[in-house]
Chain A
């Protein structure tokens, strides 16, 4: 069976003045199986959101896809324009955005906004679309959905707005849902409920999901597989258990180290990753992570490691010169 999403060599650039272009996402490849949940993690600015926007075809100038392919099932999304693209967007692939406060139209009732998404992809009347919108609001766990459907976005809490966004994304029964930090703007208890809701939806409906997050806790609870991005590149991809148990890339290891472990005494300082994430266009040569990497050797400054399976048996892929031998380097 073809995967729900196949991204191959995706490159996104920001066009600058006088024809200069800075690469924001560089040669990213991954697949998401049907019904699978993949996490895309990394620090801010690592290119996660841009990857998702590129899949949706929602990049705006000066950003644009400069290379690679995006296949939704068998459909080449990069080849689609105008109405054909509009049919796929929201129809077969939908997205939930980071900021539910700003992502709903303030002048339209939320029920109308969901009904609009339904009517854009199905030949149904206003009343029927509205009835379905209310059903969807019920599905995403909103109490009193008929009343809430008549509310304007500002009348709802952040968590409720995100539920509305999810209901809207589900309006046309998509095969793939891209969730861009769907819980970042919400408080902790609401975050948990939204993640639970997304897991339930993915199980019940068999929707494949890509969860973009910088929160490894969220990713661990949600995903089957995790892809780690650094400076616009994928540096490691592995099944979730494997990645948490034995991170192969030093950056993944550092990310996991930087996650706050509440079982440890509080006096212990929260570990951080030394240095700053690099700015696009000012990347170090060789491996982009080498200036911050505790294991870096001369080869890391010269040669960029390719994303490859560390051994034939593992389903994981990693881009590090010392993916297997790091232990020795550290002690030797």
Chain B
């Protein structure tokens, strides 16, 4: 394994530890008390009951001790239990993670599928009317928060046109067709925000690649315009653009939190929102950390993959 890979993996782990501290600290700093939320009100409840509940949940210990309880548990595969349902967090996450993964992957795939042809068409004539239209539309797309896009799509396609279900979810293993029907709007909402970022980045990379001497060489040896663009320039442009897809994966995971909530999808995002509303730190901190870990892992994988895909860097890392 090369030095780069070791350093990159080590940085990711450090980042993960730092994230866990921040997630933990931020959640504890939020106003509200899970015990009181759970009891509904303090009236008529003895202080004794409250204290007993506190002790049960480990909330009587110092914040630092609570942090190490949590992280220590995670390292042993014990994700803790919800303050409310007494379900284990791993069970709750297990029920929900499939939906979020499916939504995220579908959104990123849709975003890439929309972005690549758009970027190619825009880059072929920089400054042309297509390019300007693409720039305008993508600026607009980027300005939308995903949940606004979600509400907009919901109003048009399920409320007005009635083509697609507004809310709810059918798991993939139950009914593939219904699953896809429920997947369309949420993933479109996320892709609508994600693909402009990819378009912008890829367009710039492609315009740069098309100026390179090797593109002229390809033209000079008799490759048609299509082949020059797709086989020579696009491949070179996709490599740096891949990094942006890694970032987009992260944004999409973040965006999924609210989009799932809007569409009532039983994913990690809606689990996080429900837990936050109930001050269920035990669930919320683990789910948040998982989403962050997903982001960190994806950028790590994308970084290593793009290094491996670039023969120039591959040799360097083989030597180093």
Which chain A residues have a beta carbon within 8 Å of chain B's beta carbons? 56, 58, 60, 82-83, 86-91, 94-95, 97, 99, 102-107, 116-117, 120-121, 152, 154-155, 165, 168-169, 171-172
**Residues of chain A with a CB closer than 8 A to B218's CB:** 105
1/0 contact trace for B218-229 toward A, CB 8 Å? Answer: 111111110000
Q: How many residues of B contact A (CB 8 A)?
A: 21
Which residue of A88, A97, A105 is within 8 Å of B236 (Cβ)? A105
Q: Would A95 and B222 count as touching, CB distance under 8 A?
A: no
Given A97-B213, A97-B216, A102-B213, are A107 and B235 also a contact pair (CB < 8 Å)? Answer: yes
Q: Would A95 and B214 count as touching, CB distance under 8 A?
A: no
**Residues of chain A with a CB closer than 8 A to B221's CB:** 89-90, 94, 116-117, 120, 168-169, 171
Tally of contacts, chain A with chain B, CB under 8 A: 75
Q: Would B213 and A103 count as touching, CB distance under 8 A?
A: yes
| Chief secondary structure at chain A's binding surface | mixed
Q: Would B236 and A106 count as touching, CB distance under 8 A?
A: yes
| Chief secondary structure at chain B's binding surface | helix
Asked whether any CB of chain A lies closer than 8 Å to the CB of B312, the reply is yes
Asked whether any CB of chain A lies closer than 8 Å to the CB of B232, the reply is yes
1/0 contact trace for B72-102 toward A, CB 8 Å? Answer: 0000000000000000000000000000000
The smallest C-beta distance from A117 to any residue of chain B, in angstroms, reads: 4
Q: Would A89 and B236 count as touching, CB distance under 8 A?
A: no
Q: Would B311 and A105 count as touching, CB distance under 8 A?
A: no
| Residues 190-242 (chain B) with a chain A CB within 8 angstroms | 212-214, 216-225, 232, 235-236, 239
The smallest C-beta distance from A58 to any residue of chain B, in angstroms, reads: 6
Asked whether any CB of chain A lies closer than 8 Å to the CB of B315, the reply is yes
Q: Would B239 and A107 count as touching, CB distance under 8 A?
A: yes
Which residue of B222, B232, B236, B312 is within 8 Å of A172 (Cβ)? B222
Q: Would A82 and B224 count as touching, CB distance under 8 A?
A: yes
Asked whether any CB of chain A lies closer than 8 Å to the CB of B310, the reply is yes
Which residue of A104, A121, A152 is within 8 Å of B217 (Cβ)? A104
Q: Would A56 and B236 count as touching, CB distance under 8 A?
A: no
For this complex, 10 residue pairs linking A to B, each with C-beta atoms less than 8 Å apart, are A58-B220, A97-B216, A102-B213, A103-B216, A104-B214, A107-B311, A116-B221, A120-B222, A121-B222, A165-B217
